[in-house]
Amino acid sequence: MKQIGLLVLLSLHAACACQPVTAAAPVSTRDTSAQYKAAVGIIVPGSMGSGVLLDSYTVLTAAHVVDGQDVALIVYGDVEVIALVEARDEVNDLARLKLSAPIETMPTTIGAVPTLGSEICVAAVVPQKRHRCGEVQPDAEAPGDIVHNIITEPGNSGSGVYNMSGELVGIATHLWQCNATGQICGGKATSLFGRSIVP
């Protein structure tokens, strides 16, 4: 069954008329190159999102990016690697993927849950490679939620959220609507500190 899914995934990717997904690169004046090199694109049938290389074989993303799929295509610059979904935490919208071949990268360090008002940055690959920075906001609905005022777009789901020490503190999950009119004021993320899905 997984071989059939893989063939379908590869044929859908080959027929895709979308823009190529490339690894994220910094666009601010901060020296953030090390952590942003860990950003990857994730392609599954009908959907694209972002993810983070934890090490040469492990990717973290939002669970809804892989939305019930067992196989995904990981894109890192010109490198494309098939990955299997190894674990899901649907409650916290997290998924861990195992690459079929290594992508050389520096190991990613997990940081503590950021405090209210602290500065964080999101490194996205989809819809285009970029990182943006902002501050943690007070509207978290549950322990471990991170709400921020960083401009967030569809495709940013699964992106890494970093503190100013370059530690990965969360995975981007949703847009943040900050008032009754549905105005988008930033995004939400799930913190990673102490989560069992993080190896």
| Range name among 27-36, 63-72, 183-192 with the lowest pLDDT average | 27-36
pLDDT digits (tens, 9 = 90+) for 163-173: 999 899 999 99
7 in any annotated domain = yes
Which pLDDT does position 153 carry in this prediction? Answer: 79
Q: Are residues 83 and 157 in the same domain?
A: no
Q: Residue 83 belongs to a domain with what CATH number?
A: 2.40.10.10
Judge whether 147 lies within some domain: yes
The pLDDT value given to residue 17: 24
Q: Which domain holds residue 123?
A: 119-191
Q: What is the DSSP letter of 179?
A: S
The more confident residue out of 151 and 167 is 167
Indicate whether this model's pTM tops 0.75: yes
Same-domain check for residues 139 and 92: no
Looking at residue 101, its pLDDT comes to 97
The answer to whether position 108 is within a domain reads no
**Higher pLDDT, residue 24 or 55:** 55
Is 93 inside any structural domain?
yes
pLDDT of residue 83: 98
What pLDDT, on the 0 to 100 scale, is given for residue 34?
A: 59
> Which pLDDT band, with edges at 50, 70 and 90, does 36 fall under?
low
113 within a domain of the structure (yes/no): no
Three-class SS of residue 14? helix
Residues 123 and 52 in one domain: no
- Are 6 and 94 found together in one domain? yes
Which helix (H) or strand (E) segment holds residue 39: the answer is: strand 39-44
What is the mean pLDDT of the segment spanning 34-47?
84
Confidence bin at 16 (pLDDT 50/70/90)? very low
Q: Residue 89's pLDDT band (boundaries 50, 70, 90)?
A: very high
Q: Is residue 198 one of the residues assigned to a domain?
A: no
Token pair listed for 188: 């939400």
Backbone angles phi, psi at 5, to 5 degrees: -60, -40
CA distances from 92 to 88, 95, 130 (A): 9, 9, 25
Q: Which residue has the higher pLDDT, 63 or 130?
A: 63
Same domain, yes or no, for 77 and 140? no
- pLDDT (tens digit per residue) in 46-69: 889 999 999 999 999 999 999 989
Residue 104 domain-assigned (yes or no): no
The residue that leads in pLDDT, 14 or 184, is 184
CB atoms within 10 A of CB 172: 29
Residue 87 near residue 58, CB atoms below 8 Å: no
DSSP string across 86-102: EEEETTTTEEEEEESS-
Residue 141 is predicted with a pLDDT of 66
Residue 58 lies in a domain: yes
Residue at a domain's end among 40, 65, 99: 99
Number of structural domains (the chain) is: 2
Mean pLDDT of the chain: 80
Query: What pLDDT score does 1 carry?
Result: 42
